[in-house]
Amino acid sequence: MRAQSSVLLLAAITLVGCDRITGAADQKIYDAEAIGYACRLSYKPPEDCMKENESQSPTSILSGWKAADKAIKEGIVDPAMGRHQAAPQPVAPAVAAQSEVKPAEPAAASKVESASAPKAAPEAKKTAVAPNGTKAPR
């Protein structure tokens, strides 16, 4: 009986620190700091972040929020980095028509060039780069 109780006591003592072995406690702190960092980048006050994430440590959320605030003030992070930029203004129709007008070529010269020139492979689809850096086919 005494051996069983000492084995049980030894098992209980070793299992008490399981969260420290696996790092589960540290992961929860890192998650809370990431939530605070994201809240600062989204212009939320830390109080709102703490109310929305009651299961997280308020001190860790505040720590992440302060880290993001420091990074913004030092210019390391741009808080508008994920926001869409304003679309470029459309060109007036008269200006667009003038820019697309090409000078006329003599008809004879173009026929001679097309007959002697080898046929080129068809062009690949052209892509345009949007202001946010993504590519869209034209």
**What is the pTM for the complete model shown?**
0.47
In a domain, 46, yes or no: yes
The residue segments making up the domain with residue 90 are: 9-99+124-131
Could you tell me the sign of the dihedral formed by the alpha carbons of 39, 44, 45, 49, in that order? negative
Within a domain: 110: no
Residue 33 lies in a domain: yes
Q: Is residue 105 part of a domain?
A: no
Residue 62 lies in a domain: yes
Report yes or no on 77 lying in a domain: yes
Residue-wise pLDDT tens for the chain (138 aa)?
788 888 888 777 877 766 667 778 889 999 999 999 999 999 999 999 999 999 999 999 999 999 999 999 999 888 777 666 655 566 555 555 565 555 555 555 555 555 555 555 555 555 555 555 555 554
Cα of 124 vs its chain's centroid, Å: 29
Is 56 exposed, middle or buried (CB count within 10 Å of its CB: 0-12, 13-18, 19+)?
Answer: buried
The three-state secondary structure class of 118 is coil
Q: How far apart are CA 61 and CA 44, in angstroms?
A: 12
Inside any domain, residue 112: no
Give the count of domains, the chain: 1
Nearest to 49, CA basis, from 69, 60, 79: 60
Does residue 4 lie in a domain region?
A: no
81: amino acid identity, one letter:
M
